[in-house]
Amino acid sequence: MLERLWNGWRSAYVQGLEEPTVQSGEGSVFTQILASGLDDGQTHIVHRGASCFVILNAFPYSTGHVLVLPYREVAELEALEPDEAAELWATVTDAVVAIKQAYAPEGINVGINLGKPAGGSISEHLHVHVVPRWTGDSNFMTAIANTRTLPETLTDTAARLHAAWPVMP
């Protein structure tokens, strides 16, 4: 199992903040977050559109890793309504723009895993990964200690991406 070493954890500890928890219930973890009544700051939702939203990955590959998904819980691309599909891909583009603005990465991975065999850990709720990448961003910590080093908290990442989100005219 890959561990994560959060360098920003101390500030949350010192300030007495806790990550939000979602009670087990019906639907995917994303559906549960949406139904939780928690505000977007607590749940790290960066953007909300008409039929899709963007949330930080709670277990990111790198700082700025977001998930773009429809509110409606569907497992397959072909299950999306035409307006959901159009908004999903437009929102992926906006996520790329926001990540470039906030983090200036050298590259970005955009990907989707359909079904558990494809690597979908929450395969019942379609989501698109948008991951900023830098040359050399995998280092000895991942290879030797099975740990990722992440330089800021999810709360700080959400604030940076929210501030960088493109504003539609």
Note down pLDDT in tens along the chain; length 169 residues.
Answer: 565 555 454 444 334 444 444 555 689 999 999 999 999 999 999 999 999 999 999 888 889 999 999 999 999 999 999 999 999 999 999 999 999 999 999 999 999 988 888 777 888 999 999 999 988 766 544 444 455 556 688 888 899 998 999 987 6
What's the Cα-to-Cα distance from 159 to each of 6, 116, 126, 150, 169, rounded to whole Å? 17, 31, 24, 16, 22
Q: What is the pLDDT of residue 115?
A: 86
> Are 65 and 103 spatial neighbours (Cβ–Cβ below 8 Å)?
no
What lies within 8 Å, CB to CB, of 169 at 6+ separation is none
Q: What is the pLDDT of residue 143?
A: 44
Give me the architecture of the 3-13+29-164 domain, per CATH: 2-Layer Sandwich (3.30)
Give the domain ranges of the chain: 3-13+29-164
- What global pTM score does this model have? 0.78
Chain centroid to Cα 110, Å, comes to 12
Cα–Cα distance measured from residue 136 to residue 139, given in angstroms and rounded to the nearest whole number = 7
- Torsion sign (Cα): 150, 30, 120, 159: negative
> Are 69 and 52 spatial neighbours (Cβ–Cβ below 8 Å)?
yes
Q: Which residues are catalytic?
A: 127
